[in-house]
Amino acid sequence: MSKERLHADLSALGQEHLLAFWESLGGDERRSLIAQIERIDFAMISRLHAERERRSDALELLSRAEPPPAIRLDGLTAAEKIAARRRGDEAIRAGRVGAVLVAGGQGTRLGFDRPKGMYPIGPLSGKTLFQLHVEKLVAAARRHGARIPLYLMTSPATHEATSEFFAEHERFGLPAEDLLIFCQGTMPAVDAESGRILLEDRGRIALGPDGHGGMSAALLAGGALDDMRRRGIEHLFYFQVDNPLVEICSPEMIGHHLAADSELTTQVVAKQDPLERVGNVVLVDGRLRVIEYSDLPDEAARRRNPDGALRFWAGSIAVHVIAAELLRRTADSAEALPFHVARKAVPHVDHISGRRIEPDAPNAVKFERFIFDFMPQARNAIVVEVDRRRAFAPLKNASGAEQDTPEMVREQMAALYRDWLRRAGAEVGEKATVEISPLFALDAEELADKLPPDTRIVEPTYFRSDCGPHRR
Ligand code: UTP
């Protein structure tokens, strides 16, 4: 396409500034810029920008919202828990379960210059989030004598570094045929006021990943849905890269999912505070939904049942079991998932002065799809409550922030391991730093089987692989 024609087309859309540096670009850069421009759905961007102030329909939903059908922590007998676990174990053993890890986010709040999965988080081992996740998966597969494929979603921001990291470390023990890395799509960042698409560089459009909700379309495009069909995978355990406590492929959760004939089962924690900043899982017209904390008015958040418990108690932690059938059914319409608007500070090149701008306040809007917008399409969706101390420690922020910092995550990991050790009969110092490799024990029960009697821990101790405790 000629420059004149492109300029005319872009002018009609109010986006001709994308060519502001055309004269200074080389041939390859020009071709690349044209290719980037051709991939943009300008009509959609313009509509999304025009609707950026639109209030969500949360208030309307709220008028019909009820607490969701839930398996509560204290609502089951030991026998029921064992039955659920057996059922989940069977499905894993039969090779019907896979895992999907979404790791395409830019991790801006953490301020780490590589993909978040490469962050060293092990309190003593310094293992990265990726390594811990994969070792859990490898240990779960070993325990069940099964193959559990990992579908790993990256984005253009994380793809190369992630792929190289996995190759360099021989996939941390995961067989090559059990790892499929696929890349999600992108959306341009737009100047909040004018709606102009931002230039990251003179010949490069500012693109960001299209949100974890981009997973469905990317699973299809990346061949993962076909792979699942070929292998007979019927359910996917979905988790996010930032939570090292997640019990990957939890048999109990999978068991509840199967017993309820659910197409989407989601883990929640009981909110500690009515205004806690987590999504609220609710039931509207018989369908599960998430109402974001920012959309839930304080008055509604504070509502209580006659027994004093919070009415909207279920806080989402973004761990799901999703039926492959639901993914297949919705893959074609994945494009129909709504976009959410996020205001962000996006560095860019000013198209008039050519100067690089590093804003310290939000200047732009970004558009992202969220995974939980699938929920209303799922049949028989249920929630399963977990204990946050044992299941949820997201790494979101850099050291010094009020919550979700590396120090806090490490301490929560050590606290969990101390708890496992005590339950296994060990004597453990109040604040002892301990770490248990997933390859040594995946849970408190396995630890109890392996721990020598009269174990006493007073100094930092790392239980790695099968060789027992190592003092540090
Ligand atoms: P967050 O919403 O916490 O975003 O992602 P983030 O990118 O990690 O961090 P900030 O907001 O920039 O600080 C939750 C999970 O969803 C994944 C992330 O990798 C993380 O596992 N994610 C997020 C994607 O895979 N793709 C996206 O487009 C966004």
Residues 417-429: what's their mean pLDDT? 96
Average pLDDT score over residue span 37-43: 95
Task: Answer yes or no: is the C-beta of 116 below 6 A from any ligand 1 atom.
Answer: yes
Span 61-66, average pLDDT = 92
Lay out the sheet containing 469-471: strands in order across: 434-436, 461-463, 469-471
For ligand 1, is residue 153 a contact (CB within 6 Å)?
Answer: yes
Q: Measure 280 CA to ligand 1 centroid, in angstroms.
A: 18
User: What pLDDT, on a 0 to 100 scale, did the predictor assign at position 472?
Assistant: 52
Tens of pLDDT, residue by residue over 366-380, are 999 999 998 999 999
**Residue 445 near residue 469 (C-beta atoms within 8 A):** no
Sorting pLDDT into bands at 50, 70 and 90, what band is 36? very high
**Is the C-beta atom of 240 inside 6 A of ligand 1?**
yes
Digit-coded pLDDT (tens) for 294-304? 889 999 999 99
Ordered by where they begin, the domains of the chain are: 1-39 (no CATH), 56-392 (3.90.550.10), 405-472 (no CATH)
Q: What is the pLDDT of residues 303-353, one digit of tens each?
A: 999 999 999 999 999 999 999 999 998 887 777 788 999 999 999 999 999
Nearest CA to ligand 1 atom 22: 105
Whether residue 469 has pLDDT greater than 60:
no
pLDDT band at 198 (very low <50, low <70, confident <90, very high): very high
- Answer yes or no: is the C-beta of 106 below 6 A from any ligand 1 atom: yes
397-407: average pLDDT: 97
Q: Which atom of ligand 1 is nearest to the CA of 153?
A: 25
Q: What is the pLDDT of residue 183?
A: 97
* Nearest atom (ligand 1) to Cα of 242: 21
Interval 249-306: pLDDT, tens: 999 999 999 999 999 999 999 999 999 999 999 999 999 999 999 889 999 999 999 9
Q: What is the mean pLDDT of the chain?
A: 95
Flag whether pLDDT at 401 surpasses 70.
yes
355, exposed or middle or buried, with CB in 10 Å at 0-12, 13-18, 19+? exposed
441 CB-near residues (< 8 Å, 6+ apart): 420, 447, 449, 450, 463
Q: Average pLDDT of 172-194? A: 97
CA 110 to ligand 1: nearest atom: 13
Ligand 1 proximity of 394 Cβ (cutoff 6 Å): no
